[in-house]
């Protein structure tokens, strides 16, 4: 098994927990604003097999008013 395979789901889980916390009454939104981007940047490459072979996230339809 690859050494970073556990990191991806753990980081995604933490981002989900942070999103739930942000929606609670009295949440420290400064904390959320500081930690959220740090967690997102720390996401490792997805584990092998998560996306189909040849998957390219930059390919897709043109969206009105936006650039690809």
pLDDT digits (tens, 9 = 90+) for 19-53: 999 999 999 999 999 999 888 888 877 777 777 88
Tell me how far apart the alpha carbons of residues 12 and 31 are, in angstroms, rounded to a whole number: 18
Residue 58, pLDDT > 60, answer yes
Specify the higher pLDDT residue, 51 or 66: 51
Quote the pLDDT of residue 49: 75
CB burial string 45-55: b at 16+ within 10 A, e below: eeeeeeeeeee
Residue 4, pLDDT > 90, answer no
Residue 1, pLDDT > 60, answer no
């Amino acid at each position: 098994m690859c050494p970073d395979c556990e990191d991806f789901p753990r980081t995604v889980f933490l981002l989900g927990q942070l999103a739930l916390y942000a929606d609670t009454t009295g949440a420290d939104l400064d904390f959320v604003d500081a930690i959220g981007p740090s967690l997102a940047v720390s996401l490792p490459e997805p584990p092998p097999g998560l996306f189909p072979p040849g998957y390219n996230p930059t390919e897709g339809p043109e969206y009105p008013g936006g650039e690809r």
